[in-house]
Amino acid sequence: MNHELTHLYGECNCVEHATDFVNDFTMSDNYWAEELAKTLAAQIQAVWKEKGMPSKLNKDITAAYAKLFISGVSEGFGANLSGLDYDTPDAHMLHSLTQNVYQFSAAKNHTQMRQLSQALLDDNGKLRTWTDFRNNAFKINQEHTITWLKAEYDTSIASAQMARKWVEIQQNKSTLPYLQFDAILDSRTSPICKPLDGVIKPIDDSFWNTYYPPNHFRCRSSVKQLAKGVVTANHKIVHPEKGVPEMFKTNLAKTGMIFPPAHPYWNGVNEEVLKHGQSVLQDDIENWAMANLRHRKFQTSSIGEVEFSGSSIKEIIHKRHYDVNAKNLALYDAENILKNAELVQISPDIKNNEQVLQYYYLKLTISGKPSYINIREYKNKGRKVVYAITDSLKKE
């Protein structure tokens, strides 16, 4: 793994500037760095005690990596989840990138723990002493939190920039149907991108499935969208001699990813690791909602003011749905959604709940299908509380 990542990241000189980057970031968020360091130190102890891989991945580690990568995505995309209207192409893309980042963070955590457990044994297959293991474990953690982190953060920015651009390209392709590869030509230009500069192909040409930037770590290339142009014939394209790294032989924006499946961290990742990443995302959405939605009043177009309670936020987050992540991510645009959702049903309480007067159901669209905001009106002061988002309408 170390050799593979050194080869993959080393080509972009990311390692050279890694320490400066981490110092800059940790100075702006000391709590992040301190907590991650403490948690990783505890994980070293846990691996030693269990003499193997921890039975469960630590959520705090995954959340710490995700926080950093999401900050890069926000910088590159030019927006965050709470700054976009939910049912728009930009929001759909950002939702997809967010889910990918959390699963990648879980995969990074899993890889790191696997390497720590492998470090228990020396080259002869014998158990190391505690001191020897601790020293090797410290090196592994340094590589993951300093050396590799810079390249991964840079990738989150570059991939997000090109993802936002891809959304714009799709919106304008009826009048601007061509793309031109646009490399920055200077002393730092990659031999991967230099020969591709100026290539013109239609937007839907398969060329962009491989060469739409980024094409390597710290890639600075972009594309220009054109109304007309002379399409570059396939035989005139000078393909890079070294070739695009396997990881980047895909259109990341088209697939809605920051880190593609060919990244080494994904090797050996099972369904439990992916579920772990989803669970951490769910926790972070819940924490955000508790801080930003709880006890706030929101105006609807049909039933007046509604609000969220702490218990209702938990109920919403953990309620089953055909697209749980998309349903939960909708909370970031709660104000706009509630203002525009259509009232489709009012039902009396039929369960003899002494506190409840009636229920309201507002319709919204999630992942192209109808969903329903469930609102409970209490008899006391007519308080209306959002308590669920469901994928079916209750029939009373």
82-95 pLDDT, tens per residue? Answer: 888 888 999 999 99
2-56 pLDDT, tens per residue? Answer: 667 766 675 544 444 444 545 555 445 567 788 888 999 999 999 999 999 988 9
Question: Residue 58: CB partners within 8 Å, gap ≥ 6?
Answer: 39, 43, 109
109-145 pLDDT, tens per residue? Answer: 999 999 999 999 999 999 999 999 999 999 999 989 8
For residue 377, list its beta bridge partners. 358, 384
- pLDDT score at 84: 87
- pLDDT score at 395: 61
- pLDDT score at 19: 47
Give one DSSP letter per residue of 122-151, joined into a string. Answer: -TTSPBPPHHHHHHHHHHHHHIIIIIHHHH
Per the document, the length of the chain is 396
Average pLDDT, rounded, for the chain = 90
Pairing state of beta strands 200-202 and 369-378? unpaired
Q: Which two tokens stand for residue 353?
A: 């709940």
Pairing state of beta strands 342-348 and 178-182? unpaired
Q: 150-159, 304-313, 350-359, 376-385 — which one is most confidently predicted on average?
A: 304-313
Say if CB 324 and CB 390 are below 8 A apart.
no
3-state secondary structure of 4: helix
Instruction: Indicate whether 78 pLDDT > 90.
Output: yes
Containing 314, the helix (H) or strand (E) segment is helix 310-318
Q: Which residue, among 240, 237, 257, has the nearest Cα to 97 in the 3D structure?
A: 257
Q: CA end-to-end span of the chain, whole Å?
A: 57
Can you tell me the distance from the alpha carbon of 39 to that of 32, in angstroms, rounded to the nearest whole number?
Answer: 11
Mean pLDDT, to the nearest integer, of 365-393?
93
| pLDDT more than 70, % of the chain | 92
Can you tell me the distance from the alpha carbon of 390 to that of 90, in angstroms, rounded to the nearest whole number?
Answer: 24
- pLDDT score at 15: 45
Looking at residue 233, the DSSP 8-state letter turns out to be P
Can you tell me the distance from the alpha carbon of 25 to that of 67, in angstroms, rounded to the nearest whole number?
Answer: 12
Instruction: Indicate whether 314 pLDDT > 60.
Output: yes
Q: Which two tokens stand for residue 106?
A: 């879980």
Can you tell me the distance from the alpha carbon of 270 to that of 111, in angstroms, rounded to the nearest whole number?
Answer: 12
